[in-house]
Amino acid sequence: MKKTILITGANGQLGSEIKEQSYNTPEFEFIFTDVNELDITDLNAIEKLFNKNKIDFIVNCAAYTNVDKAETDTKNAELININAVKNLASISKKHKSPLIHVSTDYVFDGNSKIPYKETDKTNPQSAYGKTKLLGEEEAKKSHKHIIIRTAWLYSSFGNNFVKTMIRLGKEKDEISVVSDQIGSPTYAKDLASVILTILKLSDKDINNFKEGIYHFSNEGACSWYEFASEIMKQKNLNCKVKPISSDEFPTPTKRPNYSLLDKTKIKNTFNIEVRDWNVALKDCLKLI
């Protein structure tokens, strides 16, 4: 019998990419929900859904992702990034449905000089990062859990840095972008594909659902300035990108200066190949 996968936050970047790939994944039934169909802060609503359907795996793509707003709207960020994950973990335990949950590089302080490993000390600097770290702790209480920390997510769906750069590239002759924050962009399509790979492996043999925390982004490293320059180049936009320091571009939340994630564990455990960030970008830009 086909296994049923619940996807929460299905209208977001990651959820939409999973939906796209679900059309080529006939081995599963999917239940796609976003806040209008299933508000994950509402435990009764989750219980009702589970009482009506046999759900074999949960993939939580829902989150409060507005990093700057989370500094002042902390209550809502906590509700969605912590309390709602607690709800999913408790239903996961009750129905023995493993949970795949997504977290962030913002759980780190960004002071490292080498890519962060899953075992490195966390030290979130923002309200968003703090809520996501506490959300990880809730996810760990599931029947079985996999937590994937990712960074700099973009997609042809939703709003993100790539789309903002394309808009600015069309409107302006010159823009300034910070060059002292280093990371690796992640095409949400590639993360969606990894999640589906894990589900397929686990469908074959549940022992393949190897619990724990994993890091995933595309390969390579760049600054936001280099990322923006590559977007302009690949899109043939005639807009000069000027490097500036983070001090010259103050935001309500301090971003990590360094957020490269070491992907060795996820690659080895699930036998995954990861594309370079500029190759993945090219793929995405065909759709924007």
* Contact stretch for ligand NAP (CB under 6 A) within 18-26, 55-63, 86-94, 138-146: 55-63
C-alpha pair distances (Å), 2 with each of 25, 57, 99, 153, 200 = 11, 12, 18, 30, 11
User: Interface mask (CB under 6 A) for ligand NAP, residues 227-266, using x and -?
Assistant: ----------------------------------------
Q: Contact between 99 and ligand NAP (CB under 6 A)? A: no
CB of 203 to ligand NAP, least distance (A): 23
- Indicate the residue among 8 and 27 with the shorter CB distance to ligand NAP: 8
* Positions 13 through 32 that interact with ligand NAP (CB under 6 A): 13-14
106 in active site: no
Q: Contact between 153 and ligand NAP (CB under 6 A)? A: yes
Q: Contact between 70 and ligand NAP (CB under 6 A)? A: no
**Geometric angle at alpha carbon 111, from 245 and 148, rounded to 5°:** 105
Four-residue CA torsion sign, 253, 189, 231, 180: positive
CA separation for the pair 183, 258 (Å, rounded):
6
Strand-strand pairing, 28-32 and 3-8: parallel
Out of 22, 92, 97, 150, the only residue in the binding site for ligand NAP (CB under 6 A) is 150
Q: At 204, which helix (H) or strand (E)?
A: helix 188-204
Q: Contact between 65 and ligand NAP (CB under 6 A)? A: yes
Instruction: Evaluate whether 67 touches 93 at the Cβ level (below 8 Å).
Output: no
Which residue is at the shortest CB distance from ligand NAP?
Answer: 12
Strand-strand pairing, 57-60 and 3-8: parallel
Q: Give the amino acid at 140.
A: K
Q: Contact between 176 and ligand NAP (CB under 6 A)? A: no
Catalytic residues: 128
Residues that bind ligand NAP (CB under 6 A): 8-9, 11-14, 34-35, 39-41, 61-63, 65, 80, 84, 102, 104, 132, 150-153, 158, 188
